[in-house]
Structure 1
Amino acid sequence: MAGLTAAAVAAVAFLAYQASASAPADLSAKPTTPGVASPSASATGGPKQPPKNPLAIPADSGVGERVVYALHDRRVWLVDEKNKATRTFSVMPSTVHPAPGGYRVTSRSGSVRGSDGVQIEHVVRFATTQDVAIGFSAAVDGSTPSPDPSKKTGGIRMKRADGDALWSFATIGSKIVVVD
C-alpha cells in the first residue's frame, strides 16, 4: 500500500512540475504552448465577450424617446430621441407587475396617498393589471421599502430625485416600455 501511495505522490509531483515549467512568469502574458487558449478567448474558442454593462439600456426596449422599466433588474431608464439614456435608477417594484410590452402614460397626479397608505408624489400611471393601477411614484418621506406581499399594490417606488426626473420626462402620452 505504501508503494502505491509513494508512486501516486511522485506522479502528482511530476505533473505539477511540468505545469509550473510551462506557465509564463507573468500570468497576464499569452501562453506559448500551442493549443492552449489565450485569456482573450472564450470557452468556445471565439473572442471573449465583454461583460454586460448593467446600466446599459436593454436591447429589446425599442427606439426613440421612452421610459424603459426592466422588471428583473428593478431599473428604469429615461431614454431620449437619440436612444441615449439621460438617467437610470433603481426602483422598488410593486406586488402587481405589468406585462412586458409597450404602454403610454395615461394619467398623472402631483401628490396623493398610495394604496399602501403612504403619501406619494409625482405619480405617473401607465397600466392596469388585476384591477390595480400601475405607475411610478416617490414617497414624500423618501422611503422605498419592500411592499407588503399580502396587499395588491401597483406603485413602483423610487427616490424623490428620480421621481422628479421621471415626472418632468414622462408626460401624458409618453411611451413606457416594460421588459423582463
Structure 2
Amino acid sequence: MAARLLPSWVWVSGLTAGATVAVVFLALQADKGPHPTAAAVRPSASASAGAHHSASPAPTKAPAVPAASGTGRRIVYSLGAKRVWTVDASDKATRAFTVWPGTVSPDPGTYTISKTLASTTGSDGVPIEHILYFASKSGLSIAFSNAVDGSSPAPAAGKQTSGIRMPKADGAALWTFGTEPNTKVTVVK
C-alpha cells in the first residue's frame, strides 16, 4: 500500500506552531536576564532611592554646582563635565545628572527657556520627549530632551545634532523644573 502524504497546509501549520513556541520560550528566558539601565548620579540618597544601577557602583555625591554659574533658580549645564544641575532659589542643587550632548554645543552664557515641546522626533530619527529649547548655534536649535524609550543616543555619524539627551527620569524632572516661566539656563565650560 502506498504511503499517504499529508497536505502542505498541515506541515506549514505544524512548523509555524513549533516556531511560535520556540520564540515564546526564548522571549521568556531573555526576560529573566539582566536589563540595561542608564545610571545617573544623584545629589542625595533620597533622590536615588528609585534608581537602578546595573553596571555601576553605589551612587556617589554629585560635584558641587560650578561657582561661576550665577545665582538664584536656574538650570546649570557644564559642557566639560557633561552634567546638569537644577538649582533652587536658595542656590541649593536639587538634582544633578550626566547628559549625552549632541555634536553642536551652546556657547557659555546665560539663556532662558524659549520654547517647550512635549514630544517630537529628533533629527536622528529617535522619538523624544520633554524638550526644553534654550539656545541656537550653527542654524540648529539647542534643547534638553530624553528619548521616549529611555535609551542613550548612538554617536552621530557625520551629522550635526544639537540635542542634549538624558535618562528618562531626569528628563521628566528637568521638564517639571524647566517649564516654569522664565527659567534660566547657565552654560559653563
| TM-score normalised according to structure 1 size | 0.69
Query: Which among 58, 63, 86 is matched to residue 78 of structure 1?
Result: 86
Structure 2 match to 1:55: 63
What RMSD, in angstroms, separates the aligned Cα atoms of the two structures? 1.2
Structure number, greater radius of gyration: 1
Residue 74 of structure 1 aligns with an amino acid whose one-letter code is K
* Pairing of 1:1-180 with structure 2 (within 5 A): 55-171=63-179, 172-180=181-189
Separation in 1, partners of 2:169, 2:184: 21
| Cα distance in 1 for residues equivalent to 2:76 and 2:121 | 25
Aligned to 2:24: none
Runs of at least 5 residues in structure 2 that lack an aligned partner in the other structure: 1-60
Following superposition, the deviation at residue 144 of structure 1 comes to: 1.1
Conserved in 1, the CA contact under 8 Å of 2:62 and 2:96?
A: no
Which amino acid is 2:138 matched to? Answer: Q
Shift of 1:146: 4.0
Equivalents in 2 of 1:86, 1:103: separation in Å?
Answer: 20
* Structure 1 ranges of 4+ moved more than 3 A: none
Amino acid at match of 1:131: G
The one-letter amino acid paired with 1:123 is I
What is the CA distance between 1:149 and its match in structure 2? 4.6
Given residue 165 of structure 2, which amino acid in structure 1 is its aligned partner? R
- C-alpha distance in structure 2 between counterparts of 1:111 and 1:73, whole Å: 27
In 2, Cα distance between equivalents of 1:107 and 1:153 = 18
Cα distance, 1:79 vs. partner? 0.1
Residue 34 (structure 1) aligns with: none
Please tell me the residue identity of whatever aligns with 2:115: S
Cα distance in 2 for partners of 1:168, 1:99 equals: 24
Whether contact under 8 Å (1:95, 1:149) holds in the other structure is no
Aligned residues: 128
CA distance in 2, matches of 1:149, 1:129: 19
CA contact (8 A) 1:92 1:146 kept: no
Distance 1:149 1:61 in 2: 32
* Alpha-carbon distance, 1:150 to partner: 0.9
Runs of at least 5 residues in structure 1 that lack an aligned partner in the other structure: 1-52
What is the percent sequence identity of the aligned residues?
52
For the residue of structure 2 that corresponds to 1:82, the secondary structure is: coil
Q: Could you tell me how far 1:147 is from its partner in structure 2?
A: 3.1
State the alpha-carbon separation in 1 of the partners of residues 90 and 71 from structure 2: 8
